[in-house]
Amino acid sequence: MTSLNVAEAKRRFSDLLVRVADDGETILITRRGKPMAKLVPVRQTEQAEEAARKVKTRGLGRIPGLLRHHAPERPVSVDDMRIAIAEEVTA
């Protein structure tokens, strides 16, 4: 990953966009040596968003919905969580 300070990134912004979009490179932009932003290819962020959506619909991402199913009218107990997790593991 390439790292540039803010001033250099401003001067070379158009070139950096081409490198990110066409070459798939990731660029870290820093200020006084501290990371401020990261330029990443759109396809990389789309893949990350898709993975996050899958987590919400499968695996432990389903636990909040299962807990609401088991205990919709009262606070969620540890036993409710165990039941929901056990159901998810066996599903």
Topology of domain 2-41 in CATH is: YefM-like fold (3.40.1620)
> Which tokens in the block code for residue 7?
């001033």
Start-end of CATH 3.40.1620.10 domains in the chain: 2-41
> For position 84, what pLDDT does the model report?
72
What percent helix, strand, coil does the chain show, rounded to 5?
A: 65, 15, 20
Q: What is the pLDDT of residues 8-42, one digit of tens each?
A: 999 999 999 999 999 999 999 999 999 999 999 88
User: Alpha-carbon dihedral of residues 27, 28, 32, 36, nearest 10 degrees?
Assistant: 130
pLDDT category of residue 60 using cuts at 50, 70 and 90: low
Contact of 49 with 40, CB cutoff 8 Å? no
Instruction: Count other C-beta atoms under 10 Å from residue 20's C-beta.
Output: 19
